[in-house]
């Protein structure tokens, strides 16, 4: 698979709006190591991964928010509470993710 | 992230120049630092560690929390010997992120049909390896069993900073190889960098399992030193 940043550059060159999500911290069992990335476009198309599929849906929504705002967000996920099971990590780990629009 | 920063990072990686991107997590501001400029940077201690251990991470600095992303050059695997084990190893190494170079002056072995989509060089190692350039993000593996091909390449690997050197051959073949290299002036401690017989001992049988044992040994050298 092509590198996520290269995909981001290619999508930008096609005129698509793009945000990049990066795993910046992990604790315990986490499926994707620090530095793992996901690229999202304005329509929610994505490549790459920041977890085993557990939190991607939420990250994609956040990424689209940053595309709209032109800013950045730092997100945290874990299994600390009941609701975390809805959008969380069944593996028991915790992760922090930086989401930023590329502009 | 700014578009021009993204373009700079991609260009640096294509040129095999190690760079780091420092992101201020509070403001989202980012800057790129080349490894060659890291010593003069206010975050020099953090950057030095990050480059050496190829480890990105969050750091607390005087000006707040930052995320340091290390972009070391892509991993490379240079193989002498366009042989069956190379055919088995290449898809695995590629999946693990390596760019692959296969060197074998024997034209019958080094054919595009046997190695599709690979940088394949039907030349002698001393002609092509200096052009590839062996560095600390490169692994070298000798698979031909032919000293005329493997030995000159091993000599170049030993004189470089490659993170892994492996050589195929039985204990007896390997002992003879070490004697030849000793006669060329290499010390025992220099020669101890060569993993031979190649691969972790997992009782591998056949080319595919040997390729797995080599891949595991390379990964161990990369991640654990």
Contact flag B57-A8 (C-beta cutoff 8 Å): no
Domain count, chain B: 2
Domain boundaries, position B54: 3-71
- What percent of chain A clears pLDDT 70, i.e. is strictly above it? 84
Alpha carbon separation from B212 to B85, B162, B206 (Å, rounded) = 10, 20, 10
B144 and B51 in a common domain: no
**Cα gap B65→B70, rounded to integer Å:** 16
Q: For position B142, what pLDDT does the model report? A: 98
B176: Cβ contacts below 8 Å, ≥ 6 apart? none
Q: For position A83, what pLDDT does the model report? A: 47
Tens of pLDDT, residues A24-45 = 999 877 778 899 999 999 999 9
B208 and B186 in a common domain: yes
Per-residue pLDDT of chain B (225 residues; tens, 9 = 90+): 899 999 999 999 888 889 999 999 999 999 999 988 999 999 999 998 898 778 899 999 998 999 999 998 889 999 999 999 999 999 999 999 899 999 999 989 988 888 888 889 999 999 999 999 898 889 999 999 999 999 999 999 999 989 999 999 999 999 999 999 999 999 999 999 999 999 999 999 999 999 999 999 999 998 887
Residue A67 with chain B: CB contacts under 8 Å: none
B61 and B84 in a common domain: no
Q: For position B209, what pLDDT does the model report? A: 97
Indicate the Cα dihedral angle B1, B6, B12, B14, nearest 10°.
150
CATH code of B213's domain: 3.40.50.720
Task: Enter the tokens of residue B197.
Answer: 């017989």
* Closest residue, chain B, to A10 (C-alpha): B7
B80 and B66 in a common domain: no
Contact A89, A77 (CB under 8 A): yes
Tens of pLDDT, residues A56-81 = 899 999 999 999 999 999 999 875 54
Shortest alpha-carbon distance between residue A53 and chain B (Å): 20
Q: Which of B45, B71, B97 is the last residue of a domain?
A: B71
B44 and B106 in a common domain: no
The ranges assigned to domains in chain A are: 4-102
Contact flag A34-B57 (C-beta cutoff 8 Å): yes
Q: Which of B44, B71, B98 is the last residue of a domain?
A: B71
Shortest alpha-carbon distance between residue A81 and chain B (Å): 24
Residue B7 with chain A: CB contacts under 8 Å: 9
B179 and B106 in a common domain: yes
Closest to A73 (Cα-Cα) out of B63, B25, B29, B70: B25
Shortest alpha-carbon distance between residue B225 and chain A (Å): 19
B114 and B7 in a common domain: no
Alpha carbon separation from B145 to B2, B71, B77, B170 (Å, rounded) = 51, 36, 18, 10
């Amino acid at each position: 698979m092509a590198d996520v940043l290269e995909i981001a550059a290619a999508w930008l060159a096609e005129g698509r709006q793009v945000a990049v999500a990066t795993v910046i911290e992990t604790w315990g069992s986490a499926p994707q190591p620090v530095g793992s990335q996901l690229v999202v476009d304005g329509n929610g198309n994505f490549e790459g991964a920041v977890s085993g599929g557990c939190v991607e849906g939420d990250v994609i929504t956040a990424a689209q928010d940053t595309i709209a705002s032109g800013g950045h967000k730092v997100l945290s996920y874990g299994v600390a509470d009941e609701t975390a099971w809805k959008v969380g990590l069944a593996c028991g780990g915790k992760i922090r993710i930086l989401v930023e629009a590329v502009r | 992230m700014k578009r021009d920063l993204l373009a700079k990072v991609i260009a640096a990686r294509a040129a095999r120049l190690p760079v780091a991107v420092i992101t201020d997590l509070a403001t989202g501001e980012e800057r790129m630092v080349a490894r060659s400029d890291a010593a003069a940077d206010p975050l020099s201690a953090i950057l030095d560690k990050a480059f050496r251990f190829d480890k990105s991470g969050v750091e607390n600095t005087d000006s707040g929390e930052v995320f340091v992303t290390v972009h070391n050059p892509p991993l490379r695997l240079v193989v002498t010997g366009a042989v069956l084990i190379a055919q088995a190893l290449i898809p695995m190494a590629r999946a693990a992120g390596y760019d692959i170079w296969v060197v074998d002056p024997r034209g019958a072995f080094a054919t595009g049909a046997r190695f599709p989509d690979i940088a394949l060089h039907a030349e002698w190692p001393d002609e092509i390896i200096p052009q590839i350039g062996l560095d600390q993000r490169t692994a070298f593996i000798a698979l031909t069993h032919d000293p005329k091909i493997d030995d000159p390449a091993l000599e170049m690997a030993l004189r470089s900073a490659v993170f892994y050197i492996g050589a195929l051959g039985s204990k007896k073949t390997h002992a003879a190889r070490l004697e030849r290299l000793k006669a060329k002036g290499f010390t025992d401690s220099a020669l101890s960098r060569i993993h031979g017989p190649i691969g972790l001992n997992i009782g591998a049988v056949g080319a595919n399992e040997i390729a797995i044992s080599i891949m595991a040994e390379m990964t161990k050298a990369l991640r654990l030193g």
